[in-house]
Amino acid sequence: MRDSIKSEIVAGLEQAFVRQGFAKPGVDELRAAAGVSLRTLYKYYPSREAMILGALEHRHGRYLERLFDGLPTDPPEALDAILQRVADWMRRETSRGCLFHGAVAAVPESAALQDLLERHKGEIARRATAAVDLHGCEAEPHPHPRRSHPELGPQRRGRPACRQATGRLPDRSEAITNDHGRRTAAVDRLLSNRRPDLRLEPRRG
């Protein structure tokens, strides 16, 4: 029962933050979105930061489920499915931009939000590289959000680093000539927070 109430609360909070951002909604609006009394809302989430963290944890779970549940076992087909799912998510869920980056920009002093963003990106990296079978590749840690967020200063985006003999990520010309390079470059786009290039030629034959 307790978990059910918390799930309903964070689902409502997530949508409130999606619609209005993190600064605008007042306590009454957040309570209404959560569908509970003010006392119950503060019982589970006693501060605005706690509400934001709860909402983002909920979104994190939804995003991972949307991207990775029931993927094809064939790596190139899994890649195509991931890219399509990301595109669908962006069309339906991110009209105001990435909610995680928006939260860090709104509350840059929150170490908990920064840690959550790093964990979110890291989990995507691990699951994506595993799903598309990029053996010999690993995701470099996402830079500290406070230093890397585009609204907060210069950044060096994390991306999968292919530990081949060359010790480098295949460049774009290599990516279109071999399937492994194509998958590596596509996951690179995904982890670099850029819209996946859905014009990549689908695997043939």
Give 9-60 pLDDT, tens digit per residue.
999 999 999 999 998 899 999 999 999 999 999 999 999 999 999 999 999 9
In a domain, 28, yes or no: no
For the chain, how big is the Rg over CA atoms in Å?
A: 19
Better pLDDT: 188 or 52: 52
Q: Is residue 163 part of a domain?
A: yes
Rounded CA separation 14/100 (Å): 11
Which is more confident, 35 or 165? 35
Q: State the pLDDT at residue 166.
A: 37
Residue 118 domain-assigned (yes or no): yes
| Distance in angstroms (rounded) separating the CA atoms of residues 50 and 42 | 9
Assigned domain for 178 exists: yes
Range(s) of the domain holding residue 89: 83-191
Does residue 100 lie in a domain region?
A: yes
pLDDT reported for residue 2: 77
Mean pLDDT of the region 160-184: 47
What is the domain count for the chain?
1
Q: What confidence tens digit (pLDDT) does each residue in 92-121 have?
A: 998 778 999 999 999 999 999 999 999 999
Q: What's the CA gap between 117 and 128, in Å, rounded? A: 16
- 118, 133, 116, 135: which is closest to 191 by C-alpha? 118
Distances in whole angstroms, Cα of residue 181 to Cα of each of 8, 30, 131, 166, 175: 42, 46, 15, 13, 4
Q: Model's pTM, two decimal places?
A: 0.71
In this predicted structure, what is the pLDDT of residue 196?
A: 44
